[in-house]
Amino acid sequence: MAKFKVIVSDPADGTSKTVELEDARAAPLIGKKIGDVIDGSVVGLPGFKVLITGGSDKDGFPMRPNVHGGVRRSVVLSGGVGFNPQNEGERKRKRVRGNIITDEIVQVNMKIVEKPKGKKGGEAKENSPSTREEKA
């Protein structure tokens, strides 16, 4: 069955956490798309909401949000995920993976979008960049 290495980033404090999911724990992720918001209990963070931001397959090909399906395709890219152009206007045909998580995906990237209400949520809100600017 599927085995995923999930990297969960917290944009509020710039940290990340790695979680490995296998078999039954990995099943809720299969079929999800880039951009889906899921419950954090899937990755061991109950009460949190996490956003799927990307990933890569078993051969290292990156997932791209605008390539539909779960297959690997050759597409013409002018920038973004999977291609960094060296010259202005440069385009190139590159292999990328679609935006749906399948059992061929190895790494899944996520970020926290909502923290649980309570003590931890209040601390995170207090130290957010927008709050710090207001205090200054």
Give the confidence band of 84 by pLDDT, cuts at 50, 70, 90: very high
Instruction: Give me the domain span that covers residue 112.
Output: 3-60+100-135
pLDDT for 7 beyond 70: yes
pLDDT for 126 beyond 60: no
In a domain, 32, yes or no: yes
pLDDT of residue 119: 52
In a domain, 88, yes or no: no
| Distance between CA atoms of residues 124 and 44, nearest Å | 19
In a domain, 93, yes or no: no
In a domain, 87, yes or no: no
Give the confidence band of 49 by pLDDT, cuts at 50, 70, 90: very high
Across the range 61-84, mean pLDDT stands at 94
In a domain, 90, yes or no: no
Across the range 7-34, mean pLDDT stands at 93
| Distance between CA atoms of residues 119 and 54, nearest Å | 30
Pairing of strands 92-97, 72-77: antiparallel
In a domain, 66, yes or no: no
Reported pTM: 0.80
In a domain, 82, yes or no: no
Alpha helix stretches (DSSP H) within 18-128: 119-126
Q: Do residues 23 and 29 touch, judged by C-beta distance below 8 A?
A: no
pLDDT of residue 121: 45
Across the range 87-115, mean pLDDT stands at 95
Provide the number of structural domains found in the chain: 1
pLDDT of residue 117: 83
